[in-house]
Amino acid sequence: MEIRGADVGFIGLGVMGLSMAGHLRKAGARLHVYTRTKDKVLAFLNEGAVWHDSPGAVAAACKAVFTMVGYPKDVEEVYFGRAGILENARPGTLIVDTTTSRPDLARKIWEEARKRGLRALDAPVSGGDLGARNATLSIMVGGAEEDFLDAKPLLEAMGKTVVRQGPAGAGQYTKMVNQIVVAGNLIGTVEALIYAEKAGLDPRTVLESISTGAAASWQLSNMVPRMLDGNFEPGFFSKHYLKDLRIAVESARSMGADLPMLALAESLFDKMVDRGYAEKGTQALYLLYKNGIPR
Amino acid sequence: MEIRGADVGFIGLGVMGLSMAGHLRKAGARLHVYTRTKDKVLAFLNEGAVWHDSPGAVAAACKAVFTMVGYPKDVEEVYFGRAGILENARPGTLIVDTTTSRPDLARKIWEEARKRGLRALDAPVSGGDLGARNATLSIMVGGAEEDFLDAKPLLEAMGKTVVRQGPAGAGQYTKMVNQIVVAGNLIGTVEALIYAEKAGLDPRTVLESISTGAAASWQLSNMVPRMLDGNFEPGFFSKHYLKDLRIAVESARSMGADLPMLALAESLFDKMVDRGYAEKGTQALYLLYKNGIPR
């Protein structure tokens, strides 16, 4: 699909969505938008996006519609709700959910879309607010190959690594794979840091010895300095990570996968939210350990 | 310490020790060696190393002695046993244990050495057989600063990253930190791969999407291809990793650190050894999951 001059919708203009929509506009799309709180995006509207009063109204005006909302229930609402996307999009419209959401919900959207002559992709992203701002996201796509190819120019305006992973739901499954790896890396990093401190080591000197060999990870190199600096600002909110872990646990269970580390991660992030770290970054897991993991 | 022409001992010529001792010889040391099975190192002796019949005899002939043996009990034997190093080394001798061993044992050796006018360092390594062969090991050192500086030219003949981490025991503690990080990364990688397969994804395509972002790790990039190729040859033996995890668990407990992921890792590698994977590489953890984790 040619971006320049195309009517493209974006629903959900939070930190991620706002940056992503901005890239589509810079690439020449005519943007149509809806988000829960209009007041937060007035500046964006002034730069030339068309406001609509519902997801369905956005969809009715566009050839392609992107969504980036919060939780699976929000996804259900914008797709299946009153004045939702599915009921209002014109046949042939490409609908792309970039929210990290349930794989089974992605498949349900795809099936419903198909019945209505729409083309659905699930396309969750990783790379955080920085990746969204710099258009360096990794975008993991599920859906039909031809729909993926059609959407690719738009996805490539927002991300650097854009890969089709398989049929509907495969994008969400791949994002869950990503989050499971992150869980192990993050928990390993935190436990190692706690151990190092108890042992009287200087963690920064320890990093010199271990950060480039078999222990090397993005979490180790990027999160330990933040933990040591007392910087618990959200690169990624703990409450959102808990949402992802719950989706991963639930889908793993439904597939019969026994994943004890994932179960541990979910229980730790449950406690993170209980303890009031919901709005902190995932690196605040260090604080949970520091203060003693509640039983 | 000047390597060229120095009498340097090496005790324990397994896969790691043999490569490491070779680098000392190439750098010009006169090598004195002892290992459990002389027959395995005849070629090495033919190239010019002097054989001795006990660790103590090696120590008596040298200005610096390195040890690389298997388990903490082997360390105790070569240092404290009959015809051991501590009793036979001449005052001033530098004694360096490169075995991954217990931090408290490293401190015990250091104290006993001090009483006898010897200078002890704990200097476990990471980087595996390849790192040993290519002299690219990371060597994590505990002990007195001046003894570290004296040993540095010798350590740098065997490793690329040579860092003093603190007083006696700090090298071993740092190695444990490394192993705790590895545990999280490896378990996360295995659980993610199991999830990906259950979800019908192609794991190699998944790697394209996730291996350079927040999920990036050495374990992910290096171990998934081996697992998928059915290559479970030991880069690092599962039984040796279990030894390390046990030391980490025991020392964490003695410091009052509550580390549930580390406990999970120990329990998984206990099962690895029970299931007959002791001689496989750590990546065989994938097989344990594939076959169903025993309760």
What pLDDT score does B182 carry? 98
Residues A155, B18: Cα–Cα separation, whole Å: 53
> How far A162 CA sits from the closest chain B CA (Å)?
7
In what helix (H) or strand (E) does residue B142 lie, and over which residues does it extend?
strand B137-142
What pLDDT score does A134 carry? 97
**B237-280 pLDDT, tens digit each:** 999 999 999 999 999 999 999 999 999 999 999 999 999 999 99
Touching check for A181 and chain B: CB below 8 Å?
yes
> How far B59 CA sits from the closest chain A CA (Å)?
29
Residue range B158-173: mean pLDDT, rounded: 98
For chain A positions 128-167, those within 8 Å of chain B (CB to CB) are 128, 131, 138, 140, 161, 163, 165-166
Structure tokens at B142: 């505990």
Give A-chain residues touching B251 at CB under 8 angstroms: 199
Question: Per-10-residue mean pLDDT for chain A, 295 residues long?
Answer: 97 96 98 96 95 98 98 98 97 98 98 98 95 97 98 98 98 98 98 98 98 96 97 95 98 98 98 97 98 93
* Active site positions of B, annotated: 175
Residue B236: CA atoms inside 13 Å, Cβ hemisphere, count?
A: 24
Exposed e or buried b for every residue in A40-54, given b needs 16+ CB within 10 A?
A: ebeebeeeebbbbeb
**B12-26 pLDDT, tens digit each:** 999 999 999 999 999
Of B163, B185, B199, the CB nearest to A173: B199
Touching check for B57 and chain A: CB below 8 Å?
no
- Using the predicted structure, report yes or no on whether residue B295 has a pLDDT greater than 90: no
* Active site positions of A, annotated: 175
Q: Do the Cβ atoms of B209 and A256 come within 8 Å?
A: no
Task: For chain A, give every residue range classified as CATH 3.40.50.720.
Answer: 7-167
**B32-44 pLDDT, tens digit each:** 999 999 999 999 9
Q: How far apart are the first and last CA of chain A?
A: 53
Structure tokens at B135: 């002299």
Residues B260, A71: Cα–Cα separation, whole Å: 29
ipTM exceeding 0.85, yes/no? yes
Asked whether A259 and A252 are in contact (CB, 8 A), the reply is yes
Q: Specify the DSSP class assigned to residue A34.
A: E
- Using the predicted structure, report yes or no on whether residue B125 has a pLDDT greater than 90: yes
Residue A123 dihedral angles phi and psi, to the nearest 5°: -150, 60
Q: Do the Cβ atoms of B188 and A261 come within 8 Å?
A: yes
Look at strands B125-126 and B137-142 and give their pairing: antiparallel
To which residue do tokens 């910087």 refer?
A: A231
Q: Do the Cβ atoms of B218 and A214 come within 8 Å?
A: yes
% of chain B at pLDDT higher than 90: 99
What pLDDT score does A295 carry? 85
Task: For chain B, give every residue range classified as CATH 1.10.1040.10.
Answer: 173-291
Q: pLDDT band at residue B102, thresholds of 50, 70 and 90?
A: very high
Q: Do the Cβ atoms of B215 and A165 come within 8 Å?
A: no
What pLDDT score does B68 carry? 98
Q: Which among A148, A195, A289 is the top mutation candidate for probing chain B, defined by the most B β-carbons within 10 Å of its own β-carbon? A: A195
A7-167: CATH topology is Rossmann fold (3.40.50)
CATH match of A173-291 with 1.10.1040.10: yes
Of B128, B140, B184, the CB nearest to A191: B184
What pLDDT score does A22 carry? 98
Residues B295, B293: Cα–Cα separation, whole Å: 6
A177 to chain B: closest CA residue: B192
Residues A155, B129: Cα–Cα separation, whole Å: 43
Count CB atoms within 10 A of the CB of residue A8: 29
Of A199, A200, A215, the CB nearest to B181: A215
A196 to chain B: closest CA residue: B177
Residues A219, B181: Cα–Cα separation, whole Å: 10
